[in-house]
Structures are given as structure tokens and as C-alpha cells.
Amino acid sequence: MRPREFDHDEVLRVAFEQFWCKGVRGTSLSDIAREAAVQRGSLYNAFGSKEALFLAAYERYAGEYLGAIQKVLGSGSLRKRLTAFFDLTIKNFRSGSPPRGCPTTRGLMELGSAEGEGLDENARQAFADLVSRITDLVQGALSEGAARGEFDGAPEIAALHIVTVTRGLAVLERAFDDEAQLRKIAAHTINLVLGKEGR
């Protein structure tokens, strides 16, 4: 077998940017090949299908995103950690020009579309896995905060609530394109979980 004639990681990066901007249905392997300056056939040989390429690119994105979340949840008071988590979340789906939205929410909307055009059960599982892992990281930060006396609720329930709010923020961002509104909701959510600052 001939060695692959492209930088695998760079192709995944380019592919994910295309999928994020245009969705899976709106992106062709020809689009990705052109942007990555590789042969379309090379993509087929390496990944087998557009859906398989999407899953590989999404896995790369998920790893990077989880690393960023671990970092922002890793230091400071619990309130600062949760604020930084929401900041990262909002920046993530407000990035791009125009903003690209949340790639996970966008992908979920493509599940179960016209036969042969949408994403399958493997994609649904990848999306669910990322949301679960994010929830686990937030729960860990809440548990640490509880041990320091900064939180007296149930970490598991509060983490699920916080991550559920981020899913709602992703939808509101698409509907209203109002970052200030998203940040107000995030601050209010933190106050609901921790109590108002200075109390």
C-alpha cells in the first residue's frame, strides 16, 4: 500500500472546518479535497466515506475541546471556573464570521435526515459521548467546590443542569445572534447553582 500523500491531522482540521461551517449534508469530499489540497480519491482511500471522515474529524475536535474545558475548570474559585466554562462554551459557537454555531448541536440536527444524506448512529453516539464527558468534567469541578465549601448542592444534578443550559444557549445563539443575552443567561445559571455572589 502506498503511503498517504497528505498530513492526516491537517486534513481532519480542514474537514472539520468545512463540516462546521456548512454541515455534513452541505459539504462534499470534493470541497474538503480542494480546501486541503489533496486528491478526492485519497480521502476515500483513507476514510472510506464522508461520514467516516466526519467522525474522525469530530473526534479530533472533541479531544481538543475537552482539553480546553479541563484547563478552564482546573483553577480558581468554583464561580471563576464555571464562568470560564461558560465563556469558553459561548466563544466556541460564536467563533467564525458569521458565527458557526455549536458543531454538536448542528450535527444532532442532521441525524435522521433523508436516507443516505444524514449522520448515523455512530455520529449520535459520538455527540452523546462528548456531552457526557463535558458533564463529568463539570461535575468534577462542582465536587471539588463542595469539598472546599463553595457549593452545597448535588454535583451530579447541578452538572446536568449546567450542561443542559449550554445546549439551550446553542439554540438561542442560532435564533437570536445575541451574545449579551447568552452571557446574561450564563451568569444567571451560575447564580442559581451557587447563590448570588457576595451573599
Domains of the chain in start order, with CATH, are 57-194 (1.10.357.10)
Q: List per-residue pLDDT tens for the chain, 199 residues long.
A: 444 567 889 999 999 999 999 988 889 999 999 999 999 999 999 999 998 999 999 999 999 999 999 999 999 999 999 999 999 999 999 998 788 899 998 888 887 654 555 578 889 999 999 999 999 999 999 999 999 999 999 999 999 999 999 999 999 999 999 999 999 999 999 999 999 875 4
In DSSP notation, 9-54 reads HHHHHHHHHHHHHHTTTT--HHHHHHHHTS-HHHHHHHHSSHHHHH
Cis peptide bond prior to 98, omega within 30° of 0: yes
Q: The C-alpha cell of 113 is what?
A: 435526515
pLDDT of residue 1: 43
- Any residues with CB less than 8 A from the CB of 99 and at least 6 apart, and which? 93, 173, 177
CB 22 within 8 A of CB 54: no
Rounded alpha-carbon distances, angstroms, from residue 118 to 112, 134, 155: 6, 25, 36
Query: How far apart are the C-alpha atoms of 178 and 11, rounded to whole Å?
Result: 32
Question: And the C-alpha cell for 32?
Answer: 474538503
For residues 73 and 63, the answer to whether their CB atoms sit within 8 Å is: no
| The model's pTM | 0.91
Q: Which residues pair with 111 in a beta bridge?
A: 119
